[in-house]
Amino acid sequence: MAETFESSTDGQRITPQDISDRVRQLIGGAGDAAEQMSSAAVAVAAAIGTGLVLAAFLFGRRRGRRRSTIVEVVRV
């Protein structure tokens, strides 16, 4: 991904302002990508957390049913 830097001064020296403008342009693009990734990471973490809570509930419920005592009342 070789990208050439084209100065707005057309063949003249590159000024510090040109460099700082280019850096701001590059950082701005990376900031947008990082923001999108963080929102996706939050969504994935929420889905995993919800799945873990649901799994713990279902396994606990199953174990509780297996260990319960069945009392049978018979009238004679």
Whether residue 2 is contained in a domain is answered as no
The verdict on residue 7 lying in a domain is: no
pLDDT tens string 43-67? 999 999 999 999 999 888 877 666 6
Averaged over 5-11, what is the pLDDT? Answer: 58
Mean pLDDT of the chain: 78
Most trustworthy range by pLDDT among 23-27, 29-33, 43-47, 64-68: 43-47
Give the C-alpha separation, 34 to 38, whole Å: 6
| The pLDDT of residue 5 | 57
In a domain, 31, yes or no: yes
Residue 9, SS3 per DSSP: coil
* Of residues 62, 59, 61, the one with CA closest to residue 51: 59
Q: What is the count of structural domains for the chain?
A: 1
